[in-house]
């Protein structure tokens, strides 16, 4: 029997970020992912926002090209 403050369903970017935030604030969190591993079905074509690079101090060597604009 385990006790948790919060249960997160889904280990995608939202679930992982929420788990990280809550754990960093000393809450006991359980994360459930239906796939056998985290990040197995990640849908990403490689576009990462400028904000993500600034916020998470990502290495800029990985940048292959820069978009000037994007539309819907
Ligand atoms: C083709 C495509 C290309 C994309 N390219 C980019 C890109 O280049 N850059 C970018 O920033 N964004 C991109 N996106 C958007 C990006 O994928 C989403 O914004 C992001 O994945 C959303 O994260 P999420 O955690 O909300 O959801 P998800 O990534 O969908 O994560 C949800 C997780 O929950 C799990 N889950 C679902 N149901 C259950 C359940 N009942 N029990 C347990 N686990 C469950 C799933 O397996 C999954 O791991 C792209 C999307 C698509 C479709």
Inter-CA distances, 61 with 8, 46, 58, 65, Å: 33, 14, 9, 11
Residue 70: which of 45, 36, 41 has the closest Cα? 45
C-alpha of residue 1 to centroid of ligand 1, in Å: 30
Q: Report the share of the chain in percent with pLDDT over 90.
A: 60
Q: What is the pLDDT of residues 53-72, one digit of tens each?
A: 998 889 999 899 998 887 77
C-alpha of residue 29 to centroid of ligand 1, in Å: 20
pTM as predicted: 0.85
Q: What is the pLDDT of residues 37-48, one digit of tens each?
A: 988 888 888 899
Best probe residue, ligand 1, of 44, 47, 64 (max atoms within 8 Å of C-beta) = 44
């Amino acid at each position: 029997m385990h006790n948790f403050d919060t249960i997160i369903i889904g280990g995608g970017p939202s679930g992982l970020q929420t788990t990280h935030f809550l754990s960093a604030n000393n809450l006991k969190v359980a994360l459930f992912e239906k796939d056998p591993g985290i990040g197995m079905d990640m849908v990403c074509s490689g576009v990462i926002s400028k904000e993500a690079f600034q916020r998470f101090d990502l290495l800029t060597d990985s940048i292959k090209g820069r978009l000037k604009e994007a539309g819907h």
